[in-house]
Amino acid sequence: MWMPVLLLLISGMVQFGRITYLNYVLQKIVYTAARTLATSQNLNFCDPADAVAQAALTNAVADPATGQPLVLNLTSDMLVVTTRCYDATGALGTCDVSGCGGVTGAQRPDFINVAIPDGYSFTLRIPFVQFNPVLLRPSITVPFGGSTL
């Protein structure tokens, strides 16, 4: 009589473990990308297709040994990099990119934020129970210590 209830509890615990582990892996990927970008040299924040930034995002998402994605259906295009700067009042805001068209280039950021803003969809699989997909949206902000072009 209690067997179906126990099986549902066990499968629920397994799914909770899977979602916790997936969230950890996504946080680790986002942190790796942010840390790599924050310490990179010659980043060009005026160019969204900067080779250094794209390489950092691709290396964070893929297994270094095989080149396969660490998480199924996760691509470097899903990671979004934004820069954060202190303004004149000391408040944290977006960086001034008005210099991108000129010789000076973009403002050097104080922080880099890497996130998966659209989320990574994960479907819970518990027998006889239907759930909506869970969207995991990891985000990390790290101080920028690299150099820009």
Parallel, antiparallel, or unpaired: how do β-strands 134-136 and 111-115 relate?
unpaired
Residue 19: phi and psi, rounded to 5, are: -70, -35
pLDDT of residue 36: 94
Structural contact between residues 46 and 100, judged by C-beta atoms closer than 8 angstroms: yes
Confidence check: pLDDT of 12 > 90? no
Tokens of 39: 């310490």
Q: Answer whether 125's CB lies under 8 Å from 15's CB.
A: yes
Q: Listing from the earlier edge strand, what are the strands of the sheet with 139-143? A: 92-94, 80-86, 111-115, 139-143
* Angle of CA points 125, 139, 12, to nearest 5°: 20
- pLDDT value at residue 139: 96
* Phi, psi for 76 (deg, rounded to 5): -70, -20
> Does residue 118 carry a pLDDT above 60?
yes
> In the predicted model, what is the mean pLDDT of residues 95-111?
72
**Residue 28, strand partner residues:** none
Torsion angles phi and psi, residue 50, rounded to 5 = -60, 130
Average pLDDT score, the chain: 88
Q: Residue 124 pLDDT > 90, yes or no? A: no
pTM, entire model: 0.85
35-93 pLDDT, tens per residue?
A: 999 999 888 888 888 899 999 999 999 988 888 889 999 999 999 998 888 877 778 88
Give the phi and the psi of residue 109 in degrees, each rounded to 5.
Answer: -75, 155
